Structure 1
Amino acid sequence: MNIVRHPPVKTTLQQTNHPYLTGAWTPQYEEVDVDDLEVIEGVIPDDIDGIYLRNTENQVHQPLGRHHPFDGDGMIHQISFSKGRASYRNRFIRTRCFEAEQIVEGSLWGGLMDPAGVSKRPGFGAHGGLKDSASTDIVVHAGKALATFYQCGEGHVMDPNTLDYEGLAPWVPLDGISAHPKVDESTEELMFFNYSKTAPYMHYGVIDRDGKLVTYVPIDLPGPRLPHDMSFTENWSILNDLPVFWDQDLLKRGIHAVRAHEGIPSRFGLIPRHGKTEDVRWFEADPTYVLHFLNAYEEGDEVILDGYFQEDPTPGPIEGHGEHGHMMGFLDLHSMKTKLHRWRFNLTDGTTKEERLFDKVVEFGMVNQSYYGRKHRYIYSVTSKPGWFLFTGFYKHDLETGETEEIHLETGRYASEAPFAPRINAKSEDDGYLVSFIIDENTGTSECILIDALRFSEGPVCRIKLPHKISSGTHSTWVGRDRL
């Protein structure tokens, strides 16, 4: 590998035993370019052509208070495939907050676990005092990569090929955009929402294929909420009002404490893609919290939504981890008991039906992105290490046959969210590859793996060496060369 290294960033982070600043969560500060990556095992297929982008959290400076992994500075890792070869590069997202902290050489904002008043400057997001680290999600729309933040941020634009930072998305409203905007590949539109602590508490919007804001409407909620994701069909966008949100009495004192509110159902709001506030149709469902939805589609009189239902959205602390136990409980898929779930909203009679699709703990799922908004057959989920926010395996769910295939990584190896990359001239929905970065704590290295979805249970068809060990994180995306 011929590695081009870029000047290092300034960092003040001290040695620590914090569970999300060590091990697989050890921050990576090196930015590099590598033209031709070394293959450890197998052969890179010549029928995959495009780019995998992975967002990670990398805390650059010593935290002002208690660190939460979602506070870390966003870094995008890219691997590009073409003609049986692969190249790699990674870059910090040069947000205004990142640059400000580089100037003063220290942290200016507190984090999700900190009380009001810790931040030294006004902050961002629905919380109101956080650093917009752009470290949560990454999507590609209108030829540009868009990095977003957990609790609503500014929306940061990068060139998906070079990872050059191009500034703020000009269409983002004052209340920002939430972490999970959705791209419809068939219309090239982007749907998004945001939320805040002031009425109407949520807005919904649509960006057209040219990057222009064409729809932006208020969504009236009963009070401040904490929605994290959304979905869409060909005609509807699906928002949510779930009964897990800030304690209202504590919020009046400036304390952002999340709890489950008993006696309140889940609500899902269906709005026509370019609809108005008065067009929203609300459907009630069993109380839960949902971090991530997979896809939605229309079938007869029903709108069908798949996602991950939390059986215990506010779990207790993980034992044996002292002051970090409470935070780790809210990051543990096994504590929250996240299960693959389906909601059916009947547009004729206004009722909701629900069913469990898989009874093991899974989350962070993907479908073939070209099927977004349309009926899908296959879902790809990850599972995690109990007690930790670390991915240890993959599942392929066939919703037509009910069969599930699985792959489990060796102890000490941790995966990234794995989007689906369609094979060139694909013949079926599952004709392609899952792409994932692996962090190997046994060797202190990282690699990229490709899993042939048609031969899923056989495991990776190739392993590709990365030039350094990356930090863990949350989300990723795949973009085919034809969309670049």
Structure 2
Amino acid sequence: MAATLVEQIKSTLKPSDNPYLQGAWTPTHNEWDAQYKNGDVEVIGQIPHDIEGVYIRTGENQVHEPIGRYHPFDGDGFIHSMSFKNGRASYRSRFVRTKGFEAEKEAGGSIWAGLMEPPHKSKRHGWGAQQWLKDSSSTDVTVHAGKIISTFYQCGEGYRLNPYTLEQFGTEGWVPLDGISAHCKTDENTGELLFFNYSKHAPYMHYGVVGADNKLKHYVPIPLPGPRLPHDMAFTENYAILNDMPLFWAPELLERNIHAAQFYPDMPTRFAIIPRLGQPEDIKWFEAAPTYTLHWLNAYEDGDEIILDGYFQEEPMPKSYIGAPEGLERMMAYLDQILLKPKLHRWRFNMKSGETIEERLDDQILEFGMINQKYAGRKYQYGYSAVPEPGWFLFRGLVKHDLQNGTREEVQFGEGRFGSEAPFVPRINAVDEDDGYIISYIADMNLDRSECVIYDAKKLSQGPVCQIILPERICSGTHSTWANYDSIGMGQNTTIAE
């Protein structure tokens, strides 16, 4: 390995008993470039020769001493990329240079309080649906029109980066006044980007489409009864699927500018299904069992039905976490997937009759699913879900579901080893849907190091085919994506780690 420390970001963090500022969530502040080839001592196994592209993972990585209580969703966006070609790999890590990051860098400390503190503790007005938070652009990444779009879950400006070099180009020019939420969706088959946002003023939600040319081509309201907290959306070949779930800021508290989420079990979950370029009057609304769903796996059309797969929370309002530091009980509970009990679930919406049919696909607690993105919005067979670590916002393994044959395969990362959302990597000239690899970053707390691990998607249980040791152990993270070189304008002349 040839590794270069590009920049060390100055931090004002102090030692803390906050569980999400230590252990696998210990922030790091070094930006790296590193190159690998087969035969390096930092490469265990063999880097595959039959993949070309870049794995991109984002995460929350706090730089400055927080104002009040810290929630991991407050952390600054930090992107890690691993590029591959001809059995070589190149690693880069960079903070997202958001407006908030730069302002706090200049101030030498935190300006914005986080999710668990009242708005008046922030020293300046902020971004997003709450209006006083920092747009840390730390939640999600996708690749559209050849660039990374880095996004913030409570609606921010969207930041563009080069997927290979992580060069930064500032905010997206087409983003509406209410911003864009995390989990905007790239349709690889059309090149379009579908997105949504939400706010505290009517109509409370909008939906939009950006063309393959990165120009806004569609933007319409999705009228809701009041402020809501959607986190994800889904799409099919012809439709977008938005949601109105019965977990949102308590209206009586919101009148006092207190943002406290409450679950309303007597209200149904509602789904808005709209043609991709449709108008509000084209929306078909469906009702389903009350729940909250953080993430969808995929959706597709099947005759008169639209099929939607996602992670149905059986306990959206869990009891307080036992053993948490004082003042962090509620936060710890909402981060513990074992308490929330999300399970892979299927909704069937009949577009003619208006009927909703639901079924459970797996009784194991799972979340953060990924698929072969060529099948996004299309009928698919395989999904790859993360297995949570009890008590923590960490993941200790993966489950591969064959949704057509009803079979599953599970792999554990190992004791004290924690991974993240694991995207599918297609082989060059892949011949079927699962012809490729699964990739993730692993924090090994036993050896105090991080690895990029690669599994054969057809042989998950056999363990990784490759482990690439990073220059240092990185802070845990969640959302990620994979982009083939042809989708980011990198062709046959691209070289890595020469």
TM tier, shorter chain?
Answer: over 0.9
Residue equivalent to 2:437? 433
Q: State the alpha-carbon separation in 1 of the partners of residues 459 and 209 from structure 2.
A: 38
Query: Which residue is equivalent to 1:11?
Result: 11
Q: Which residue of 2 aligns with 1:446?
A: 450
Tell me the TM-score normalised to structure 2 length: 0.96
Matched, 1:119 2:122: yes
Deviations 1:424-469 (A, max 9, x none): 1111100000010000111110001111011121111111111111
**SS at the partner of 2:54?**
strand
Q: Give the aligned residue type for 1:365.
A: G
Letter in structure 1 aligned against 2:139: T
Of 217, 220, 224 in structure 2, the residue corresponding to residue 217 of structure 1 is: 220
Amino acid at match of 2:53: G
Of the candidates 149, 169, 172, which is equivalent to residue 146 of structure 1?
A: 149
The residue type paired with residue 44 of structure 1 is I
Alignment partner of 2:351 out of 343, 347, 354? 347
Determine if the alignment matches structure 1 residue 381 to structure 2 residue 413: no
Alignment counterpart, residue 182 of structure 1, candidates 185, 190, 196? 185
Q: Which amino acid is the alignment partner of residue 19 of structure 2?
A: P
Give the Cα separation in 1 of the matches to 2:361 and 2:346. Answer: 7
Select the residue among 241, 244, 249 that pairs with 1:241.
244
Q: Give me the whole-angstrom Cα distance separating, in 1, the residues matched to 2:407 and 2:117.
A: 44
Q: 1:328 aligns with which of 322, 329, 332?
A: 332
Q: Which runs of 5+ in 1 are unaligned?
A: none
Instruction: Determine the C-alpha separation between the residues in 1 that align with 2:211 and 2:224.
Output: 26
So what's the TM-score if we normalise by structure 1?
A: 0.99
Partner residue, 2:24? 24
Q: Which residue does 2:170 correspond to in 1?
A: 167
CA distance in 2, matches of 1:408, 1:36: 26
1:267-297 CA distance string (max 9 Å, x none): 0000000011111110000000000001100
1:402 matched to 2:406? The reply is: yes
Q: Per-residue deviation at 1:41?
A: 2.0
Alpha-carbon distance in structure 1 between the residues aligned to 2:157 and 2:2: 35
Amino acid at match of 1:61: H
- Partner of 2:263 in structure 1? 260
Q: Deviations over 1:284-335 (max 9, x none)?
A: 0000000000110000100000000000001012101132221011011110
Matches within 5 A, 1:192-231: 192-231=195-234
Q: Deviations over 1:320-367 (max 9, x none)?
A: 113222101101111000000000000010010000000000000001
Matched residue of 1:421: which SS? strand
* Structure 2 counterparts to residues 464-479 of structure 1, below 5 A: 464-479=468-483
Percent of pairs with identical residues: 59
C-alpha separation in 1, matches of 2:101 and 2:48: 37
Determine if the alignment matches structure 1 residue 455 to structure 2 residue 455.
Answer: no
User: Given residue 313 of structure 2, which amino acid in structure 1 is its aligned partner?
Assistant: Q
Distance (whole Å) between structure 1 residues aligned to residue 79 and residue 265 of structure 2: 39
Return the alpha-carbon distance in structure 2 between the equivalents of residues 262 and 231 of structure 1.
Answer: 23
SS of structure 2 residue aligned to 1:400 = coil
2:420 aligned residue: 416
Moved more, 318-327 or 474-483: 318-327
- Gaps in structure 2 of 5+ consecutive residues: 489-498
CA distance in 2, matches of 1:321, 1:418: 29
Cα distance in structure 2, aligned partners of 1:33 and 1:224: 43
Q: How far, CA to CA, are the matches of 1:458 and 1:259 in structure 2?
A: 43
Matched residue, 2:287: 284
State the shift of 1:51 in Å. Answer: 0.2
* Cα offset, 1:481, TM superposition: 1.2
State the secondary structure of the residue aligned to 1:154. coil
Aligned: 1:308 with 2:295: no
Deviation larger for 317-326 or 181-190: 317-326
Alpha-carbon distance between aligned partners in 2 of 1:243 and 1:300, rounded to the nearest angstrom: 29
What SS does the corresponding residue of 1:192 show, helix, strand or coil?
A: strand
Alignment-derived partner of residue 89 in structure 2 = 86
Aligned to 1:359: 363
CA distance in 1, matches of 2:11, 2:324: 26
Q: Which amino acid is 2:276 matched to? A: R
2:28 is aligned with what amino acid? Q
SS in 1 for 2:347: strand
Q: 1:322 & 1:12 partners in 2: Cα distance?
A: 22
Equivalenced residue count is 484
Displacement, 1:40?
3.6
Name the residue aligned to 2:139.
136
SS at 1:370's partner residue?
helix
AA aligned to 2:9 is V
CA distance in 2, matches of 1:189, 1:15: 45
Distance 1:17 1:424 in 2: 47
**1:35 Cα shift?**
2.1
Q: Could you tell me which residue of structure 1 aligns to residue 373 of structure 2?
A: 369
